[in-house]
Amino acid sequence: MDLELPIDGTKVEAICGSKLTNNCYLAKKRNHLSMSQSIRMLIFIVVFFCLTARWVSAADGYFNLSQTLRVDFVLVGNHSWQKGYLAGLSRYQGWSGSANQLISPFDFGEYRYLLISPETGDTLFRRGFSTLFEEWRTIDEAKEKERAFQQTIIIPAPLKPVLLQVDARDRDGSFTHLFQEVINPASLSIEVKQANNHPHKLIHGNDNPQQRFDLLFLAEGYTVDEQAQFYKDVSRLTNQLFEVEPFRSYKNHITIRALAVPSVQSGTDDPRAGIWRNTAMNSSFNTFGVDRYLETEATWQVFDYAMQLPHDHVVVLVNSNKYGGGGIYNHFSVVTSGNRYSGTVLIHELGHGFAGLGDEYFGADVSYNDYINLETEPWQPNLTTLVNFSQKWPHLLAPGTPVPTPVRPMYKNSTGVFEGGGYVSKGVYRPAINCRMRTSDAREFCEVCTSVIIQKIRFFTH
C-alpha cells in the first residue's frame, strides 16, 4: 500500500483552530467503558478464546510446530481477470507461531488461504493477506496488458495430507477459489531448504517467538562494510516505534531482530534519477509510476532471507536517505532508513503490513483507480462506506455523535465517521479527523486503529 502524504496539518488546522494531537490510546482516552461496551468486549474475548480452543482441538496432531511449509505461487492476470498457479513447495526448520495462532479471527486482506482436513472438512489454518498484484490491477496499465507477480505464504508444516485453498475477494466482498492443491507432506517434490547464515542481532525483546510478536528487519542496499550502520539504523527506528502508542505500552510483547543481508552495492534503484543498484532484494522507488512508492517484486528472494530468523512480520529496511516506503498486509513492509521521516513512515507502513489498516487520506498522488467499491463494505477495519457500518466501530462512538460526522472543532479529538479516505474524498469514511494512517503530523493512531493493532499484537502473544 502506498505510503501516506506528508502534510503539515495546515488545512486541518484551518478547520479545527489548532494543531491536531489525537490522543487516541485507548487506555488513556477512555478511562472507563460504558456497561454495554464492557459487555461487548467481554463477549468478544470469551467467544474468541472458545473458538480458538475448538480450532486448536480440530488441528490437534496435524502440524509440526517446529517446521515451516512455504508455498510459492504466481498471480497472473489483468484488470478484469486473475489466476493463481503453484510454483513450488519447500520446508525448513522453525515456526514463529504457536498452536493458539492457527486460525486468524481477522477477516482482512484481498486474499486468504486455508488448510482443510480432507477427512473431516475442518479448517485447520487460516490467514488473510494482500498483494502488490492486487494494487497493480487497479492502475491504468492493467487495462492494457497482463502481468505475473510472485507471492509466498507460509504455514506450519503439516504431518498429514491437507487441502490448501487460496481464495480471492471479489468486488462485492465475497470470496471465490483461486486455486487448490492437496499437499502430502511425504512428497519428494517438497524441497528441504537450508537457511542462510548471515549476521544478525537481537535488538529488543527475547528469543521466545511463540509468545511474542516477532518483527524482523532485513538489510537491503547495505554492503558488508555497512553492517554496523544497519544495526544502528534498526535501533534508532525501534526507539521511534516505541514512542508511539500502542507499541509503547506493548513493547514487552514485541521482539525485534535485525538480519544483516549483504548487498553488492549500497542504496537502491531510483529510476527517475537514473540510479540503478545491485542489491539483495532488488528494491526500487517509482513503483507503479509513483516516485515515493518503494517496493520490491522479488518476493521469493525476501522470504529466502527471512527464513533464517523467526518473524510474524518482515520489514525490508532500504539504505537510502530519500523519503519513501510501502506496506502490504501479511506480505511485508518497506521503508528507507535515513530520511528524517523514516520513523514516521515505518509506523504508518506497519499499520498497513502488520495491522491491515487502510489509508485514511485522499487527494494524494496515487495510481489507483476505484480502489474501494462504494457499494460494499471495505475489509479495512478503519474505513467504511456505511453500507454495513454496524460491523465497524459504532460501539466506539459517544452518544449523540452524528453519522456521518462533520469536521468541526468539537469533534477534533473524538471518534466519529468523517468523510474522506481510501484515496477518495466522497463515499468513504474514516474514524478520526487525523490519524497516523492519514498524515505524518498526527502524533498517534486514532482509537479504531489503536484497537486493531492491540488485537493483532495480542493474537501473536497469547
CA angle, residues 380, 102, 207, in degrees to nearest 5: 100
Mean pLDDT of 159-188: 97
Q: What is the set of domains in the chain, with CATH numbers?
A: 10-30+360-445 (no CATH), 46-188 (2.60.40.3250), 200-353 (3.40.390.10)
Distance CA 39, CA 191 (A): 49
- What's the pLDDT at 371? 80
- Burial environment of residue 180 by CB neighbours within 10 A (0 to 12, 13 to 18, 19 or more): middle
Q: Tell whether the model's pLDDT for residue 99 goes beyond 80.
A: yes
- Does the pLDDT value for residue 166 go beyond 90? yes
Better-predicted residue by pLDDT, 65 or 23:
65
Percentage, residues of the chain above pLDDT 90: 81
Neighbours of 355 (CB within 10 A): 26
Model pLDDT, residue 369: 66
pLDDT surpasses 70 at 40: no
* Range 55-70 average pLDDT: 79
Q: How many residues does the chain have?
A: 462
**Angle made by CA atoms 359, 360, 361, in degrees to the nearest 5:** 95
Chain segment 208-246, per-residue pLDDT in tens: 888 899 999 999 999 999 999 999 999 999 999 999 999
Tell me what pLDDT residue 364 has.
64
387, pLDDT greater than 70 = yes
Q: If DSSP codes are grouped into helix, strand and coil, which group holds residue 206?
A: coil
- How far is it, in rounded angstroms, from Cα 3 to Cα 440? 10
Rounded to whole angstroms, the Cα distance separating 256 from 251 reads: 10
Tell me which of 89 and 363 has the higher pLDDT: 89
Average pLDDT, the chain: 89
Average pLDDT of span 8-36: 38
Taking each helix axis as running N to C, give the angle between helix 227-241 and helix 342-353, from 0 to 180 degrees, rounded to the nearest 10. 70
* pLDDT the model gives residue 208: 84
pLDDT at 62 over 60: yes
Task: Express each pLDDT in 120-142 by its tens digit.
Answer: 999 999 999 999 999 999 999 99
**Average pLDDT rounded to a whole number, residues 86-90:** 98
Give the burial string for 239-268 (b: 16+ CB within 10 Å, else e): eebbebbbbebbeebbbbbbbbbbbeebbb
Backbone angles phi, psi at 141, to 5 degrees: -55, -35
Question: Could you tell me the pLDDT band of residue 363, with boundaries at 50, 70 and 90?
Answer: confident
- Per-residue pLDDT at 29 exceeds 70: no
Q: Where does the pLDDT of residue 440 fall: very low under 50, low under 70, confident under 90, or very high at 90 and above?
A: confident
The pLDDT of residue 58: 53
Q: What integer pLDDT is reported at residue 287 of this predicted model?
A: 97
| pLDDT surpasses 80 at 264 | yes
Position 53 scores a pLDDT of: 45
Angle at 314 between CA 310 and CA 316, to 5 degrees: 130
Mean pLDDT of 427-431: 97
Q: What is the pLDDT of residue 299?
A: 98
* Residue 103: DSSP 8-state: B
Flag whether pLDDT at 413 surpasses 60: yes
pLDDT band at 370 (very low <50, low <70, confident <90, very high): confident
Q: Which residues contact 406 (CB under 8 A, 6 or more apart)?
A: none
Sheet of 254-259, strands arranged across? 200-204, 254-259, 213-220, 313-318, 332-336, 325-328
What number is the average pLDDT over the span 54-68? 74
Q: Is the dihedral of CA 409, 412, 417, 421 positive or negative?
A: positive
What is the structure's pLDDT at 59?
Answer: 63
Interval 111-120: pLDDT, tens:
999 999 999 9
437, amino acid identity: M
Q: Is 60 exceeded by the pLDDT of residue 11? A: no
Whether the CB-CB separation of 305 and 281 falls below 8 Å is answered with: yes
Summarised one tens digit per residue, pLDDT across range 167-180 is: 999 999 999 999 99
* Mean pLDDT (whole number) for 440-449: 94
Q: Is the pLDDT of residue 23 over 50?
A: no
Per-residue model confidence (pLDDT) at position 34 = 44
